[in-house]
Amino acid sequence: MRKFGLLMELPEGKRAGFYAQIVKALAEAANVADRDKELIVVDSEEERGRVAAVLEKYRVAWEPLELISLPEGTELDEAAEDVGFVGRSGGAYLYADRVARFRLPRMQPAGADIAPAMLQLEEFIRFAYDDGGQRVYCAEPHLREAVEGVAKRYGAAVEFL
């Protein structure tokens, strides 16, 4: 599921009350789904706009981020620490621009040789998780063509999400 992030660049040297004012204003203006340090996670672009308005009011610079919310219970391991994070509320997220997500559909073409294809694909996979009973794999975005090439070589279908 798609989520929207705002990466704040908090000014240094401000009093603790300044940050408390921002937190209070954010709670009044928008429904913050989760956060991680200076990263705020919201469910919609509309919510992101509300958070952005608060940050701009307090002259806090921010950068938009596109996020992918992982299924509940998904744990990020060391292989995923530079492509995602776990928020304070326990939700796991991937940075959309740092991963190419794919799966091998259950219905494969006749003659597809999945086992050796998976052996080769493993070298590209940074992280994997279960979504609705199907395995989803994450590779670096620049490896998309390589993943497609391996699948084609073994007659397998691959579906990018």
Q: Taking the model in full, what pTM does it have?
A: 0.84
Which of 25, 68, 26, 69 lies closest to 48, judged by CA?
Answer: 26
Which of 58, 61, 62 lies closest to 4, judged by CA?
Answer: 62
Query: Domain for residue 86, yes or no?
Result: no
* Residue 119 CA neighbour count, 13 Å, CB half: 5
Query: Domain for residue 88, yes or no?
Result: no
Q: What is the pLDDT of residue 29?
A: 93
Count of structural domains, the chain? 2
Q: What is the mean pLDDT of each run of 10 residues along the chain (161 residues)?
A: 93 79 90 92 95 94 96 82 90 95 94 94 92 92 97 96 94
- Return phi, psi of residue 133, to 5°: 80, 5
Range of the domain at 29: 2-69
Q: How far is CA 70 from the centre of its chain?
A: 7
Q: What is the pLDDT of residue 14?
A: 76
